[in-house]
Amino acid sequence: MAENRFAAARDGAHAQLIDPVRETQVPVTKALEDLLTAAEPHARALHIDGALDDARRLAADPGSERQRRAAGASGTPTAVVSWLAEVF
Does residue 82 belong to any structural domain of this protein?
no
Find the domain containing 32 and state its range: 2-62
Q: What is the pLDDT along the chain (88 residues), one digit of tens a residue?
A: 899 999 999 998 899 999 988 899 999 999 999 999 999 999 999 999 889 999 999 899 988 889 888 888 788 888 899 999 998 8
Alpha-carbon separation of residue 55 from 27, 65, 77 (angstroms): 16, 15, 26
In this structure, are residues 79 and 69 in contact, taking their beta carbons and an 8 Å threshold?
Answer: no
pTM for this structure? Answer: 0.74
Does residue 23 belong to any structural domain of this protein?
yes
Does residue 87 belong to any structural domain of this protein?
no
Does residue 83 belong to any structural domain of this protein?
no
DSSP-derived pairing of the beta strands 24-27 and 16-19: antiparallel
Domain count, the chain: 1
Which residues lie across from 27 on neighbouring strands? 16
